[in-house]
Structure 1
């Protein structure tokens, strides 16, 4: 082969390799209810995450590699969550997991994460069991459900509302929220007016709603997810319950409000991030600008959660070095100190994977927006 032919061959090889490097991807796994009772909120949180990850990829990704989120639909079924996690880790070869949804769902995959040394960033659940004791491979971003419920009860008490009951889903999420409610009642020298629970797979309010109405509550703390809470709130209103209804941040989505329809106005939804319209926070403005550039409408709280969780994930990948793998990503996340996401600061250590501690309340207005 002549020298010029070698040059051409080398140039062709360089082009080939450059093209491969440009397409090289950092694979991150996600199993979440793309369909099922939590689908509306899931779609918004995934959309918020995509705003940030797409912007990073548009600039070349991290170290010349683009981030790909491989998402599998678990239909909000814990059994499918476990199956999907095994598929993503053992077959797809993801180096990390991202934004699972649901308390029993996330609890169920912890042994798989530990088996393979895979970090999970930003589970969309505030279950205390994922915070204390510290789970080595769970890196929480949002505050706990218990903090949300306690704050809600304290707020209601300051308004003179003391006849407060609890309706909760009968699973580990519901039990966790109930524990927060009981702490809130104790801290405010109150007792629960009633405690009712419903089946997660087949919620039925035909007996619960009349019993709740008979107690004439001033407020009801409703702990559940998506469609189950929508149906429950409608059932309570139809039974004659006129008191304030409070639900948690896992329902802070435009889809939840839309599904509630005429029953939405006045429902209080706890929040774990600042208002999606607050320009006092840099990450809110950043998300707004990216959404506007993509032609996306108003941000929602669920989109904000996805956006911030994505920022934490990407920062971990950046700090994992030029060849991120499972061990390097875990070490980078655990070494994350005083990371400013844009107005809120987050730190992790070997003894603390809590993340942020922000908590607030909002109320759904007549225009369907969350108002602070």
Structure 2
């Protein structure tokens, strides 16, 4: 009996040592994204926000004394590329993959069951398409409000303006098809809005034809749902087809990128936003974000929502890691769910009720100089 108690005491006393051994060294996280193929600057700007936050965190001593290493890899905007980069990075044991981008890639990751076998978690996948969230995956955590929430906000806003019809130009991808379904559901909920749909591939001729089909029905507004490049080209095509009414799109298309696609046709377009205004100065989050960006990226003079998204993602990861019993994938997942609300100084994230942390949505309107007015 005495021998058994001594063994049990030895095992208990060894547990902190084991945890320390597991938690020794730098904390590795990875960002796999389309850095060389996607024309829009989204992955690069996400990375710049991540880097700014981790430089800030490491400069203050890291996470419980450990520095964070961010590994950046290019997947060429394909699922096969994503899998190849996973094979390269997994030997380094990243505890989290941050902000992977692409609805087809992410759906492939879920449909193939690959995520089931990976010893890592994903924090803040982009986009927020419903097919990536319902039913979702226990290792996949979304910070940003989803496409359904963005589209509900857009449709409700349109109805408040007494708009009674909306043309939906959507890409033949999961982000587009689930976006159309969300628009129909939102229209049915608010009532009084007719949805006119047009599906399109990515070729310019296909987009132009779909835009003309919508223009022929003369809707009082239009919504474009798809990848950033598709959305920019879709809005330009709608303007070229004669659609002068209010056009909306989702948060993945930055206003400056839209202006490059559509020129002055970008003016007045409403873009759903899932994070606070990156140009704001009023909240503690705004001030911390701007200070970190200015220190890490002094050559960048204008900040975008994707900069803010990357910064917030890194901050949420750091808060979860600080509170985790062990900085492992399972420890991070448990910490995200157990910790309740993360208040980043004006933007709150809470995973206690599920794997979507925020429902915050606003609409910014593109100005004549390619900026967003909230």
After TM superposition, the score normalised by the length of structure 2 is: 0.86
Within a 5 Å distance, the mapping from 1:263-278 to structure 2 comes to 263-278=265-280
Matched, 1:315 2:316: no
Aligned to 1:368, the other structure's residue is in SS state coil
Matched, 1:341 2:370: no
Q: Is the 1:29–1:71 contact (alpha carbons within 8 Å) kept by the matching residues of 2?
A: yes
RMSD: 2.2
Counterpart of 1:67?
68
Measured after TM superposition, the shift of residue 141 of structure 1 is: 0.5
Deviates more, 1:168-177 or 1:31-40: 31-40
Counterpart of 1:14?
none
Matched, 1:112 2:119: no
Measured after TM superposition, the shift of residue 163 of structure 1 is: 2.2
Of residues 261, 265, 283 in structure 2, which corresponds to 1:281? 283
Measured after TM superposition, the shift of residue 191 of structure 1 is: 4.7
Counterpart of 2:144?
142
List runs of 5+ in structure 1 lacking aligned partners. Answer: 1-22
Deviates more, 1:355-364 or 1:130-139: 130-139
Counterpart of 1:12?
none
Measured after TM superposition, the shift of residue 200 of structure 1 is: 4.7
C-alpha distance in 1 between matches for 2:324 and 2:54? 17
Deviates more, 1:128-137 or 1:335-344: 128-137
Counterpart of 2:44?
43
Q: Which whole-Å deviations, capped at 9, do the CAs of 1:318-339 have from their partners, x for residues lacking one?
A: 2235x62223222222322111
Q: Which whole-Å deviations, capped at 9, do the CAs of 1:312-357 have from their partners, x for residues lacking one?
A: 1111222235x622232222223221111112222223x5111011
C-alpha distance in 1 between matches for 2:230 and 2:32? 21
Counterpart of 2:225?
223
Mark the CA change 1:209 to 1:128 in structure 2 (over 3 Å): closer, same or farther: closer
Counterpart of 1:9?
none
Measured after TM superposition, the shift of residue 263 of structure 1 is: 2.3
Deviates more, 1:68-77 or 1:162-171: 68-77
Measured after TM superposition, the shift of residue 275 of structure 1 is: 1.8
C-alpha distance in 2 between matches for 1:54 and 1:201? 41
Q: Which whole-Å deviations, capped at 9, do the CAs of 1:107-156 have from their partners, x for residues lacking one?
A: 32242222133211111221223433352101110101111111111111
Aligned to 1:34, the other structure's residue is in SS state coil
Within a 5 Å distance, the mapping from 1:247-262 to structure 2 comes to 247-252=249-254, 254-262=256-264
Q: Is the 1:193–1:215 contact (alpha carbons within 8 Å) kept by the matching residues of 2?
A: no
Counterpart of 2:10?
none
Report how many residues are paired.
347
Q: Which whole-Å deviations, capped at 9, do the CAs of 1:71-128 have from their partners, x for residues lacking one?
A: 2112222332233234322x33222211111222223224222213321111122122
Q: Is the 2:122–2:139 contact (alpha carbons within 8 Å) kept by the matching residues of 1?
A: yes
Counterpart of 1:179?
181
Counterpart of 2:126?
124
Counterpart of 1:7?
none
Counterpart of 2:77?
76
Q: Is the 2:166–2:219 contact (alpha carbons within 8 Å) kept by the matching residues of 1?
A: yes
C-alpha distance in 1 between matches for 2:81 and 2:174? 17
Measured after TM superposition, the shift of residue 34 of structure 1 is: 0.7
Mark the CA change 1:233 to 1:134 in structure 2 (over 3 Å): closer, same or farther: closer
Measured after TM superposition, the shift of residue 202 of structure 1 is: 7.6
Measured after TM superposition, the shift of residue 24 of structure 1 is: 4.2
Q: Is the 1:41–1:256 contact (alpha carbons within 8 Å) kept by the matching residues of 2?
A: no
Aligned to 1:206, the other structure's residue is in SS state helix
Mark the CA change 1:149 to 1:261 in structure 2 (over 3 Å): closer, same or farther: same
Aligned to 2:69, the other structure's residue is in SS state strand
Q: Is the 2:95–2:119 contact (alpha carbons within 8 Å) kept by the matching residues of 1?
A: no
Q: Is the 2:173–2:226 contact (alpha carbons within 8 Å) kept by the matching residues of 1?
A: no
Within a 5 Å distance, the mapping from 1:157-172 to structure 2 comes to 157-172=159-174
Q: Is the 2:175–2:227 contact (alpha carbons within 8 Å) kept by the matching residues of 1?
A: no
Mark the CA change 1:65 to 1:260 in structure 2 (over 3 Å): closer, same or farther: farther
List runs of 5+ in structure 2 lacking aligned partners. Answer: 1-23
Aligned to 2:303, the other structure's residue is in SS state coil
Matched, 1:331 2:334: yes
Q: Is the 1:119–1:330 contact (alpha carbons within 8 Å) kept by the matching residues of 2?
A: yes
C-alpha distance in 1 between matches for 2:356 and 2:313? 13
Counterpart of 1:4?
none
